[in-house]
């Protein structure tokens, strides 16, 4: 992933960019701490993503690819970079923007305005699907019923399925998301802290869900969040064409948590992991890549039982239980028993059918129950 390292002429401080040795450096690259110029930053940033795409054979020519577009910095930069690389390297992809409107007033409605501008700026067709249309509930309404505790479980489970449904509607072959290296390192750490081996084993995969309805890819798997924030700021893009949201991000210190965090997410546990990784990164930038590598190199013991994938009897979505998690949560909401799908599901829908269903392995039950705030799965 260190495409730039080989090109380095003079490591350490220099008056000239340590990659081209011609121009004045304008930044210390967060990933390598090299002093480099704007042009070299763009080159290495884009080239590394291109190498990740090519090296992992993420796409085939002619494929239809949906970009999960939340309107935040990661997916906004992903939409731009992917459409640039698609043009430049002739990937032959048909790209689409796919946005899920969770129905969070003052949060998603604002960021969807960014996506609508991207639709015009990048010339990519946009599909928006809302929780209200898909499930009959907005997140505002869900939070009114269940309160702040556990609402991330509803949001994460519904979003995951909504993205799959949107991808099916667009008839795409793949879905890409803007999960970056920091997100992945954080998830590795959280899965270790929670002893969630099933998720640990797949959270570092660059492509997941190949056995499900739509494979998902993460082209930013090795891209640092700080660099995603810097990228649009260095004037290769005309600053006026940048979205307001990215300009706001650039003007903030990137050492603080990113501002695009749901207003309903206290995210305490994930927040600690995030801060811990940021501290490690300050001491040693490679720490992020090393955590990802550790996650990749974990071998799952053959005695660890993995959840068996089947399909939900109610909606047909993939599930390791009789009903998928989204259907269980929805049933709870509609019956006025919102806690039904949270925590241990005794007496819940899958619990009600205990006799008819095969008892899931302990690890499967655990992996369904362990999501508090923020998805530990991609
Ligand atoms: N509402 C949504 N609609 C479409 N895609 C989404 C949505 N929420 C998240 N995603 C996808 O999942 C990725 C990771 O989402 P997460 O909620 O962790 O946000 P993030 O790390 O702040 O990313 P971003 O800056 O793109 O919002 C996003 O980059 C995007 O590709």
32 occurs within a structural domain: yes
224 occurs within a structural domain: no
Binding residues for ATP: 68-70, 74, 100, 178, 183
Among 123, 113, 127, smallest CA distance to 243 is for 113
Q: How many domains does the chain have?
A: 2
- Give yes or no for residue 183 CB within 6 A of ligand 1: yes
185 occurs within a structural domain: no
Q: How confident is the model at residue 305 (pLDDT cuts 50, 70, 90)?
A: low
- Rounded Cα distance between 298 and 311, Å, is 28
- Rounded Cα distance between 222 and 217, Å, is 12
Q: What is the DSSP string of 267-324?
A: -HHHHHHHHHHHHHHHH-TTHHHHHHHHHHH----TTSPPPPPEE-TTT--EESSSS-
- Give yes or no for residue 219 CB within 6 A of ligand 1: no
Tokens of 17: 């960019």
Q: Is the pTM of this model over 0.95?
A: no
Quick one: pLDDT at residue 370?
31
Atom of ligand 1 nearest to the CA of 183: 21
> Any alpha helices (H) in 106-213, and if so which ranges?
108-122, 131-135, 139-146, 151-169, 181-193, 197-203
Average pLDDT, the chain: 81
97 occurs within a structural domain: no
Quick one: pLDDT at residue 368?
30
Q: DSSP code of 256?
A: S
State the average pLDDT over residues 145-168: 89
Q: Which domain holds residue 14?
A: 1-42
22 occurs within a structural domain: yes
- Give yes or no for residue 100 CB within 6 A of ligand 1: yes
Where does residue 280 rank: exposed (0-12), middle (13-18), buried (19+ CB within 10 A)? Answer: middle
314-337: pLDDT as tens digits: 888 888 889 999 999 999 998 888
Mutate to test the pocket of ligand 1, among 70, 170, 208, 378 (most ligand atoms within 8 A of CB): 70
Tell me how many degrees the CA angle 182-124-133 measures, rounded to the nearest 5. 80
233 occurs within a structural domain: no
Tokens of 68: 């999960």
273 occurs within a structural domain: no
7, 12, 15, 17 alpha-carbon torsion, rounded to 10°:
20
244-282: pLDDT as tens digits: 445 554 444 333 344 455 667 666 778 889 999 999 999
87-112: pLDDT as tens digits: 999 999 999 999 999 999 888 888 89
Among 53, 122, 159, 104, smallest CA distance to 377 is for 159
- Give yes or no for residue 160 CB within 6 A of ligand 1: no
179 occurs within a structural domain: no
- Rounded Cα distance between 210 and 214, Å, is 7
């Amino acid at each position: 992933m260190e495409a730039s390292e080989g090109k380095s002429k003079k490591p350490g401080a220099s008056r000239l960019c340590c990659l081209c040795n011609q121009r004045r450096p304008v930044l210390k690259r967060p990933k390598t701490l090299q002093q480099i110029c704007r042009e070299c930053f763009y080159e290495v940033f884009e080239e590394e993503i291109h190498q990740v795409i090519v090296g992992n054979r993420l796409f085939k020519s002619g494929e239809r690819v949906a970009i999960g577009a939340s309107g935040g910095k990661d997916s906004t930069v992903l939409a731009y970079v992917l459409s640039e690389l698609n043009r430049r390297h002739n990937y032959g992809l048909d790209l689409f923007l796919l946005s899920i409107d969770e129905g969070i007033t003052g949060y998603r409605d604002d960021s969807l305005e960014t996506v609508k501008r991207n639709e015009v700026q990048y010339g990519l067709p946009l599909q928006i699907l809302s929780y209200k249309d898909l499930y009959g509930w907005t997140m505002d309404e869900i939070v009114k019923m269940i309160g702040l505790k556990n609402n991330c479980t509803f949001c994460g489970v519904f979003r995951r399925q909504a993205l799959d449904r949107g991808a099916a509607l667009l008839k795409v072959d793949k879905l890409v998301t803007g999960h970056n290296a920091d997100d992945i390192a954080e998830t590795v750490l959280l899965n270790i802290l929670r002893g969630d081996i099933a998720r640990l084993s797949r959270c570092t995969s660059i492509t997941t869900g190949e056995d499900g309805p739509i494979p998902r890819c993460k082209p930013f798997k090795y891209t640092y969040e700080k660099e995603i924030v810097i990228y649009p700021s260095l004037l290769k893009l005309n600053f006026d064409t940048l979205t307001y949201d990215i300009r706001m991000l650039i003007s903030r210190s990137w050492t603080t948590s990113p501002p695009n965090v749901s207003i309903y997410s206290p995210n305490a546990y994930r927040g600690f992991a995030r801060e811990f990784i940021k501290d490690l990164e300050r001491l040693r930038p490679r720490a992020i890549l090393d955590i990802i590598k550790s996650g990749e190199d974990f071998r799952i013991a053959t005695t660890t039982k993995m959840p068996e994938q089947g399909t939900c009897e109610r909606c047909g979505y993939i599930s390791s239980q009789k009903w998928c998690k989204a259907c269980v949560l929805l049933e709870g909401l509609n019956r006025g028993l919102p806690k039904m799908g949270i925590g241990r599901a005794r007496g819940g829908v899958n619990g009600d059918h205990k006799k008819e269903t095969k008892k899931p392995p302990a690890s499967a039950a655990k992996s369904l129950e362990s999501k508090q705030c923020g998805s530990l799965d991609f």
